[in-house]
């Protein structure tokens, strides 16, 4: 393609055209809401078209290094806005549109489940508003405009979470999400107001310059407020409680978008604030993020292990992966604060790579889960089994996603986790004994997380697709429609490609990272080519194509060996020896049984509960049990130990504050007078 | 040619300020409305003279509308309210007269304090005293709303506050566009209608114009 064509695609006009298509998709869906089929077709086709334009725009901007930007000036601050699509923004636009493209293709078949049950036009409206607002969140360059689009994204996703409103659990999940997202937004507003106080502007470009002169304490407070605010959206522990309820409640293609890309907008803003708007911070910023990342990763995967609701389990894995991304950001902040700019750049590559990877494989897994749930009408994995026979292609895509999230080579998850490990190893050797310690602990946490994630997906894949069906739904399941498989196939191919072509992708991410780290130079990052990725001092080197070829060669050699060793044997088909009983699905290992031993090891954290109900043949004698029912679960530690005390504290404060609400208009005017005098004294002194 | 001389400005601003104090001292509703009319007349005179300086038809129209609302429409509504509900006296205040005067003295002293000085730099005539008077009028009017229990007095307090703000703007040389002036006048006009309607409703419901009766709404 000619350069001028790239320039045309990476122009503000093309960007606006993308947004207009989403706007058209939203309005058209509403207008066609009386006809489910037409509304679904219009909604999905418009989303596909918008996503293709968005992907083209982002790719052109990234490859050509163009920064499309435009500003709208007004004397009224709310009407002033600016958009600035630098390479970081372009990367996130690419991730959003790529995942949205696959989800929209998937939705062509998936939306049929909702025909005549729910309003498809309304779903299409909020779906488009959701995607467009996510794109705006990562491109807007003005704090006030940002808050508006951030709120738009939250509201659109809230309505998508409560879309299946006849289920009261979904309404509860939506309300929890609504409350938590606004708690997070309160912290975000606080951070922006502090920035405004320090710089006198809501424009990111002015804030970037003005914050250089802000005091370290103010910068620290802004950083903490941003970490809590954006961490809430990202699903960081302990402000994660909305995520495991809200993500499963939404339709599966929306869950894929929420888990795949919406929570990444929190990561995007954390990077934007801590590495772009704020000048290089202090070491404790990095250490704080490292600790938050370790806790989120480890606890996220432990909760996932004990979960039997397929979508909830995947939501917990999102918390785990956000933790891994935070580890990379933590390393970046720590290295940046101490002047290790090349290492900071490399750590940021790890964080960004895992962000993109998680967007693809988590979306793939949610789409796979959606296909399975549509076929079986249940989210409980104990009711699955043997579905590899009835849904072989879905099983293959789910397996690819499972392997990627379990960080198995040569898939993308492996490479980004490997990079994160390398960053942590460098951290453990670059600081004094005291500051090495968090890195060493984080390495342990990441190692444990990786192992547990692999165990969890052995459970999920094994219990869902292998062995024999445990329910009629699983036995009678049919393969997902073609468009749903297409959507999954797209994401599976991207996951494989991101693993195999790690070098070129790292080079692009290296350029983005170098732009954000003061003193960071893409040329100093070592070899980042098609074959090899290595650090300048050869501390680490890896070749993903070589890893792939090695695995392929090993598989071929092993197959050949097995073939050679067994070719003389006769194949004899006979029943399995079963101790004289009939084998039934009830004899298979269940998800609960599989996870119970691991849960027992971590019972101090997970607080497993066991409730036993016994029914006796004779309730007076209580000798001969007729039926025994065991309910295994986990106690929620966040409600009683964190949110409940916090709620009580806020309630007490509210009761005290309520005293000023006397119901007398004279008193209220007195408050106005006192405030006026206070402001006069404060500003004129 | 300058029509608003510092002397004229001083006389009219002093009238506005004195009216605000008299609004506190009077016990009769009709007298309060009368003082408000005097205050509004002073403000209207200032506005009319200001419009002569800027020869603008639109400004003159907007100021004519302001004069109509402040000098004729608002008093008409208030006198009708007094007549309809027999609201001759409104003596109900939170502080008695000596304490009210003491509070007013404190507010005027606050305006003379050092921290207000940067605000006085706004004055174009160089006479900071005039700006002080306007600021005092604003605070005294706010205090009128706080101290009085009667709805009518509170409404007059709000209108007096508005007059104080206009006086401050003129003293500080802050020009108002005709459109803005017209908008504000329309706003006051609508507010007066709504406020009198609500006051009548309050009287019918609670048998009094005393806003403390509204406390029952919170129970």
pLDDT digits (tens, 9 = 90+) for A402-447: 999 999 988 999 999 999 999 999 999 888 888 888 999 999 999 9
Task: Tell whether the model's pLDDT for residue A544 goes beyond 60.
Answer: yes
- Say yes or no for a CB contact (<8 Å) between B146 and A669: yes
Quick one: how far is CA B103 from the chain centroid? 18
Question: What's the alpha-carbon Rg for chain A, to the nearest Å?
Answer: 27
Residue spans of the domains in chain A: they are 1-216+245-269, 280-560+591-600, 639-684
Q: If DSSP states are collapsed to H, E and C, what string results for B3-31?
A: CCCHHHHHHHHHHHHHHHHHHHHCCEHHH
Average pLDDT, chain B: 83
A345 contacts A520 by C-beta, under 8 angstroms: yes
Q: If DSSP states are collapsed to H, E and C, what string results for B123-157?
A: CCCCCHHHHHHHHHHHHHHHHHHHHECEHHHHHHH
Q: If DSSP states are collapsed to H, E and C, what string results for A504-536?
A: HHHHHHHHHHHHHCCCCCHHHHCCECCCCEECC
Q: What number of other Cβ atoms are within 10 A of residue A654's Cβ?
A: 9
d(CA B163, CA A220): 46
Q: Which two tokens stand for residue B214?
A: 């509204």
Q: Which residues of A touch B211 (CB under 8 A)?
A: 664-666
pLDDT digits (tens, 9 = 90+) for A592-623: 888 888 888 888 877 878 788 888 888 777 78
- Say yes or no for a CB contact (<8 Å) between B211 and A666: yes
A contact residues 533-572, partner B, Cβ 8 Å cutoff: none
- Name the maximum alpha-carbon separation found in chain B: 61
Which DSSP state fits A589? P
Give the CA distances from residue A623 to residues A610, A613, A614, A617, A619, in Å, rounded to whole numbers and listed in that order.
22, 14, 11, 8, 8
Identify which of A616, A367, A357, A334 has the alpha carbon closest to the alpha carbon of residue A480.
A367
What is the reported pLDDT for A636?
75
Q: What is the distance in angstroms between the Cα of A670 and the nearest Cα belonging to chain B?
A: 6
d(CA A528, CA A110): 40
Cβ burial of A522 (10 Å; 0-12, 13-18, 19+) is middle
What is the reported pLDDT for B121?
77
Alpha helix (H) ranges present in B68-127?
74-85, 97-111, 117-120
- Say yes or no for a CB contact (<8 Å) between B119 and A680: yes
Task: Tell whether the model's pLDDT for residue A106 goes beyond 70.
Answer: yes
Identify which of A530, A486, A485 has the alpha carbon closest to the alpha carbon of residue A507.
A530
A257 contacts A197 by C-beta, under 8 angstroms: no
Q: Looking at per-residue confidence, does B187 or B103 come out higher?
A: B103
B52 contacts B3 by C-beta, under 8 angstroms: yes
Which range in A181-190, A279-288, A631-640, B29-38 is most confidently predicted, on average pLDDT? A181-190
A320 contacts A296 by C-beta, under 8 angstroms: yes
**Is B1 domain-assigned?**
no
A contact residues 634-673, partner B, Cβ 8 Å cutoff: 663-666, 669-670, 672-673
Task: Tell whether the model's pLDDT for residue B200 goes beyond 70.
Answer: yes
Task: Tell whether the model's pLDDT for residue A534 goes beyond 90.
Answer: no
Element (H, E) at A640: none
With cut-offs at 50, 70 and 90, classify the pLDDT of residue A129.
very high
DSSP-derived 3-state class of residue A191: helix
What is the reported pLDDT for B88?
66
Nearest 10 degrees: Cα torsion A258, A259, A260, A266: 80
Q: Which domain holds residue B76?
A: 6-90+97-218
**CA triplet A260, A262, A266: central angle to 5 degrees?**
115
N-terminal to C-terminal alpha carbon distance within chain A: 63
Percent of chain A at pLDDT > 90 equals 62
d(CA A68, CA A82): 11
B137: Cβ contacts below 8 Å, ≥ 6 apart: B13, B16, B17, B20, B160, B163, B164, B167, B168
What is the reported pLDDT for A76?
65
DSSP-derived 3-state class of residue A228: helix
Average pLDDT, chain A: 90
d(CA A361, CA A102): 12
Q: ipTM surpassing 0.95, yes or no?
A: no
- Say yes or no for a CB contact (<8 Å) between A684 and B115: yes
Residues forming beta bridges with residue A613, ordered by sequence position: A629
Identify which of B172, B139, B175, B145 has the alpha carbon closest to the alpha carbon of residue B158.
B145
Average pLDDT of the segment spanning A319-325: 96
A349 contacts A503 by C-beta, under 8 angstroms: no
A379 contacts A310 by C-beta, under 8 angstroms: yes
Pick the residue of A75, A662, A665, A667 with the most B CBs within 10 A to test the interface with B by mutation: A665
The B-side interface with A (CB below 8 A) comprises 94, 110, 115-119, 139, 142-143, 145-149, 154, 211-212, 214-215, 217-218
**Is B137 domain-assigned?**
yes
**Is B134 domain-assigned?**
yes
Q: Which residues of A touch B214 (CB under 8 A)?
A: 663, 665
Task: Tell whether the model's pLDDT for residue A258 goes beyond 50.
Answer: yes
d(CA A75, CA A209): 22
Give, to the nearest 10 degrees, the angle between helix A120-137 and helix A36-64: 10
- Name the maximum alpha-carbon separation found in chain A: 101
Q: What is the distance in angstroms between the Cα of A664 and the nearest Cα belonging to chain B?
A: 7
Q: What number of other Cβ atoms are within 10 A of residue B110's Cβ?
A: 16
Task: Tell whether the model's pLDDT for residue A490 goes beyond 50.
Answer: yes
d(CA A419, CA A425): 10
Cis bond before residue A664 (omega within 30° of 0): no
Task: Tell whether the model's pLDDT for residue A525 goes beyond 70.
Answer: no
DSSP-derived 3-state class of residue B173: coil
Identify which of A289, A97, A83 has the alpha carbon closest to the alpha carbon of residue A203.
A83
Give the CA distances from residue A676 to residues A613, B95, B99, B142, in Å, rounded to whole numbers and listed in that order.
65, 21, 22, 10
Domain count of the fold of chain B: 1
DSSP-derived 3-state class of residue B40: helix
B103 contacts B143 by C-beta, under 8 angstroms: yes
- Say yes or no for a CB contact (<8 Å) between B116 and A673: no
With cut-offs at 50, 70 and 90, classify the pLDDT of residue A187.
very high
B73 contacts B42 by C-beta, under 8 angstroms: no
- Say yes or no for a CB contact (<8 Å) between B215 and A672: no
Nearest 10 degrees: Cα torsion B15, B18, B20, B21: -170
Task: Tell whether the model's pLDDT for residue A289 goes beyond 60.
Answer: yes
What is the reported pLDDT for B1?
47
Task: Tell whether the model's pLDDT for residue B145 goes beyond 50.
Answer: yes
**Is B21 domain-assigned?**
yes
**Residue-wise DSSP of B185-218:** HHHHHHHHHHHHHHHHHHHHHHSS-BGGGGGGGG
What is the reported pLDDT for B176?
66
What is the reported pLDDT for B219?
45
What is the reported pLDDT for A130?
96
Tokens 């509900």: give the residue: B85
d(CA A7, CA B96): 77
Task: Tell whether the model's pLDDT for residue A161 goes beyond 50.
Answer: yes
What is the reported pLDDT for A140?
93
What is the reported pLDDT for B177?
72
Task: Tell whether the model's pLDDT for residue A75 goes beyond 70.
Answer: no
d(CA A376, CA A382): 11
B122: Cβ contacts below 8 Å, ≥ 6 apart: B131, B172, B173, B174
């Amino acid at each position: 393609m000619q350069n001028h064509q790239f320039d045309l695609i990476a122009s503000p006009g093309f960007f606006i055209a993308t947004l207009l298509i989403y706007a058209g998709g939203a309005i058209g869906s509403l207008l066609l809401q009386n006809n489910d089929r037409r509304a679904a077709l219009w909604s999905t086709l418009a989303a596909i078209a918008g996503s293709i334009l968005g992907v083209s725009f982002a790719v052109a901007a990234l490859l050509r290094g163009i920064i499309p930007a435009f500003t709208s000036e007004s004397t009224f601050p709310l009407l002033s806005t600016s958009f600035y699509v630098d390479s970081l923004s372009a990367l996130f636009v690419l991730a959003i549109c790529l995942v949205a493209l696959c989800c929209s293709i998937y939705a062509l078949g998936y939306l049929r489940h909702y025909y005549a049950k729910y309003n498809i036009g309304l779903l299409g409206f909020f779906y488009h508003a959701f995607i467009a607002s996510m794109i705006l969140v990562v491109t807007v360059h003005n704090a006030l405009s940002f808050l508006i689009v951030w709120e738009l994204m939250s509201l659109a996703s809230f309505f998508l979470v409560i879309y299946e409103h006849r289920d009261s659990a979904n309404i509860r999940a939506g309300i929890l999400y609504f409350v938590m997202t606004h708690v997070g937004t309160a912290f975000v507003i606080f951070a922006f107001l502090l920035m405004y106080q320090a710089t006198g502007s809501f424009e990111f470009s002015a804030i970037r310059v003005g914050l250089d002169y802000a005091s370290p304490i103010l910068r620290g407070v802004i950083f903490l407020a941003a970490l809590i605010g954006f961490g809430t959206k990202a699903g960081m522990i302990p402000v994660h409680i909305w995520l495991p309820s809200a993500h499963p409640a939404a339709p599966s293609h929306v869950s894929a978008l929420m888990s795949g890309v919406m929570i990444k907008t929190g990561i995007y803003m954390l990077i934007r604030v801590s590495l772009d708007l704020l000048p290089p911070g202090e070491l404790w910023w990095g250490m704080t993020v490292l600790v938050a990342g370790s806790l989120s990763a480890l606890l996220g995967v432990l909760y996932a292990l004990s979960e039997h609701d397929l979508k909830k389990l995947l939501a917990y894995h999102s918390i785990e992966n956000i933790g891994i991304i935070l580890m990379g950001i933590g390393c970046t902040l720590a290295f940046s604060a101490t002047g290790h700019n090349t290492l900071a750049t490399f750590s940021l590559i790890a964080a960004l790579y895992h962000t993109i990877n998680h967007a693809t494989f988590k979306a793939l897994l949610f789409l796979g889960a959606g296909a399975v749930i549509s076929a079986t009408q249940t989210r409980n994995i104990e009711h699955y089994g043997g579905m590899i026979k009835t849904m072989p292609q879905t099983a293959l895509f789910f397996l690819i996603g499972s392997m990627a999230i379990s960080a198995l080579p040569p898939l993308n998850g492996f490479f980004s986790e490997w990079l994160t490990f390398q960053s942590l190893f460098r951290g453990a050797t670059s600081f004094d004994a005291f500051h090495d310690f968090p890195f060493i602990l984080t390495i342990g946490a990441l190692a444990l997380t990786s192992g547990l994630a692999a165990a969890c997906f052995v459970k999920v894949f094994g219990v869902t697709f292998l062995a024999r069906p445990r329910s009629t739904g699983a036995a009678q399941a049919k393969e997902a429609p073609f468009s749903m498989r297409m959507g999954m196939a797209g994401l599976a191919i991207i996951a494989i490609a991101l693993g195999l072509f790690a070098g070129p992708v790292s080079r692009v991410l290296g350029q983005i990272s170098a732009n954000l780290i003061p003193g960071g130079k893409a040329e100093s990052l070592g070899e980042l080519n098609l074959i090899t990725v290595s650090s300048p001092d050869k501390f680490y080197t890896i070749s993903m194509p070589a890893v792939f070829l090695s695995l392929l060669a090993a598989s071929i050699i092993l197959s050949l060996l097995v073939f050679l060793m067994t070719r003389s044997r006769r194949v004899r088909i006979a029943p399995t020896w079963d101790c004289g009983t009939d084998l039934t699905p009830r004899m298979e290992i269940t998800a609960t049984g599989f996870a119970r031993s691991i849960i027992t090891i971590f019972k101090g954290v997970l607080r497993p509960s066991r409730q036993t109900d016994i029914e006796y043949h004779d309730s007076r004698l209580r000798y001969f049990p007729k039926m025994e029912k065991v309910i295994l679960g986990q106690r929620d530690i966040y409600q009683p130990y964190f949110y409940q005390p916090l709620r009580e504290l806020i309630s007490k404060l509210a009761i005290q504050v309520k005293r000023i609400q006397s119901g007398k208009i004279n008193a209220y005017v007195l408050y106005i007078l006192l405030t006026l005098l206070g402001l006069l004294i404060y500003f004129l002194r | 040619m300058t029509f608003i001389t510092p002397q004229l400005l001083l006389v009219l601003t002093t009238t506005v300020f004195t009216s605000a104090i008299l609004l506190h001292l009077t016990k009769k509703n009709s007298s309060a409305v009368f003082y408000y009319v005097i205050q509004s007349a002073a403000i209207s005179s200032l506005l009319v003279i200001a419009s002569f300086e800027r020869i603008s038809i639109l400004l003159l129209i907007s100021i004519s509308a302001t004069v109509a609302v402040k000098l004729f429409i608002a008093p008409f509504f208030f006198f009708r309210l007094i007549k309809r509900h027999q609201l001759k006296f409104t003596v109900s205040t939170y502080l008695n007269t000596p304490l009210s005067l003491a509070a007013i003295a404190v507010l005027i002293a606050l305006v003379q304090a050092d921290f207000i000085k940067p605000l006085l730099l706004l004055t174009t005539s160089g006479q900071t005293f005039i700006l002080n008077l306007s600021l005092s009028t604003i605070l005294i009017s706010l205090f009128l709303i706080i101290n009085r229990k009667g709805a009518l007095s509170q409404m007059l307090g709000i209108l007096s506050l508005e007059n104080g703000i206009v006086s401050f703007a003129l003293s500080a040389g802050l020009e108002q566009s005709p459109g803005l002036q017209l908008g504000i006048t329309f706003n006051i006009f609508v507010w007066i209608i709504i406020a009198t309607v609500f006051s009548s409703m309050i009287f019918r419901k609670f048998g009094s114009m005393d806003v403390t009766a509204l406390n029952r709404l919170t129970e």
